[in-house]
């Protein structure tokens, strides 16, 4: 199972979280977010985890293709997560502007099954989908769960991650009910925005292993 821990701001926490078993680290590149990091801060974390088998994903919203490509290059990112209202055309143009190996993830804030239908429209222009909880004023990191019952029949032809209010306490229930191929956590393993609680991250991986669904990327 792919496990992405998002909102990384500190190099030492990035190293510890990758060592605990995360397969991807996420960096918030949205200036209005309390978890925002600059290109230089991303670079510092990426240098600290050099050689570790972990993806490095920048999270963007309401920005330009030029700025995304610049951050990918300067920060040494392996993936781009689009968390705003990016169109199919935008995703297609971004794909043309990025190196072929860079993954594009599209976040979909799910309120109804209609949102899931629209998510499938992105399949030709992105590599991975991420399903997050809908909030009228916030893009992510809200701590709210989406209605897992909506996802019972969701089976796209590309990889996808379940996000939205996941915690060490509810992760086993989420996996049992939804059976996602990957998960994404942020606020559920934090002391405060951008400051990860390593004890909770360790508890997350312990519970994942108990569920039988997690295989360490080191295996």
Q: What is the H or E stretch that residue 161 is in?
A: strand 160-162
| Alpha-carbon radius of gyration of the chain | 16
184 is catalytic: no
C-alpha torsion sign, points 44, 46, 51, 52: positive
Place of tokens 């996602």: 180
Q: List, in sequence order, the alpha helices (H) in the chain.
A: 11-20, 39-48, 65-75, 88-97, 113-119, 171-178, 198-211
* End-to-end CA separation in angstroms for the chain: 12
Catalytic residue among 39, 55, 132, 184: 132
Which candidate, 94, 41, 79, 98, places its Cα nearest to that of 161? 79
6 is catalytic: yes
Which candidate, 185, 186, 188, places its Cα nearest to that of 214? 185
Q: Which residues are designated catalytic?
A: 6, 132
């Amino acid at each position: 199972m792919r496990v992405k821990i998002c909102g990384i701001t500190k190099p030492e926490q990035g190293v510890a979280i990758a060592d605990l078993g995360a397969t991807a680290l996420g960096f918030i590149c949205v200036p209005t977010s309390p978890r925002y990091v600059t290109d230089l801060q991303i670079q510092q974390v990426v240098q600290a985890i050099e050689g570790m088998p972990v993806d490095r994903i920048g999270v963007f919203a309401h920005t330009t293709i030029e700025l995304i490509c610049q951050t990918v290059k300067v920060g040494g990112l392996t993936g781009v997560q689009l968390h705003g209202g990016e169109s199919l055309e935008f995703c297609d143009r971004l794909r043309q502007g990025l190196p072929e190996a860079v993954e594009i993830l599209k976040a979909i804030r799910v309120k109804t099954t209609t949102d899931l239908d629209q998510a499938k429209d992105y399949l030709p222009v992105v590599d991975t989908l991420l399903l997050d909880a809908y909030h009228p004023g916030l893009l992510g990191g809200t701590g709210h769960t989406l209605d897992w019952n909506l996802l019972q029949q969701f089976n796209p032809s590309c990889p996808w991650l379940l996000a939205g209010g996941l915690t060490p306490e509810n992760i086993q229930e989420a996996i049992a009910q939804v059976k996602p191929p990957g998960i994404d956590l942020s606020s559920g393993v934090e002391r405060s925005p951008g400051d990860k609680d390593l004890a909770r991250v360790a508890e997350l991986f312990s519970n994942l292993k108990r569920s039988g669904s997690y295989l360490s990327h080191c295996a």
